[in-house]
Amino acid sequence: MLISAMEKRREKRLDEENKVVLHVLAEDGQEKQSFYSFSRDLSVGGLRIMTDSPLPVKTRLKIEIAISESKKVIAGLAEVRWVKSLFEDEVYEMGLEFIELDPPSKVFLLEHIYKRTIAR
């Protein structure tokens, strides 16, 4: 029996576009570069973003996700888990896994995903 990738996911994912600010962290924890992106989907475990600047797997990031619907910002740390080239190496998708979210962000994210998945 074949199981699709969507069925293997542990958490529910929301297919929604939110503005994301990414701050690339050096090994010493200092910010060395910042850029903007958009989320393609979002879950309690992480998010998928679109970018024209791919980063190496395991790169650590400080992230801020502006949830379009509520204008609230989710803040925390994430790590690049995978990178996929789209459109002749001009656009990329990256999978980011949350390492740490501040407590209010985690609570808001859980509530946001729960409300959006129940409403469907």
- CA atoms of 115 and 120, how far apart (whole Å): 9
CATH number of the domain that 26 lies in? 2.40.10.220
Range of the domain at 61: 5-118
Number of domains composing the chain: 1
The whole-number pLDDT of residue 4 equals 38
Which of 11-20, 61-70, 108-117 shows the lowest per-residue confidence on average (mean pLDDT)?
A: 11-20
Return mean pLDDT, the chain: 85
- Cα separation values, 109 from 10, 14, 30, 42, 89, Å: 16, 11, 26, 9, 32
Distant-in-sequence, close-in-space partners of 15: CB < 8 Å, separation ≥ 6: 40, 41
pLDDT digits (tens, 9 = 90+) for 48-96: 999 888 899 999 999 999 998 787 999 999 999 999 998 777 889 999 9
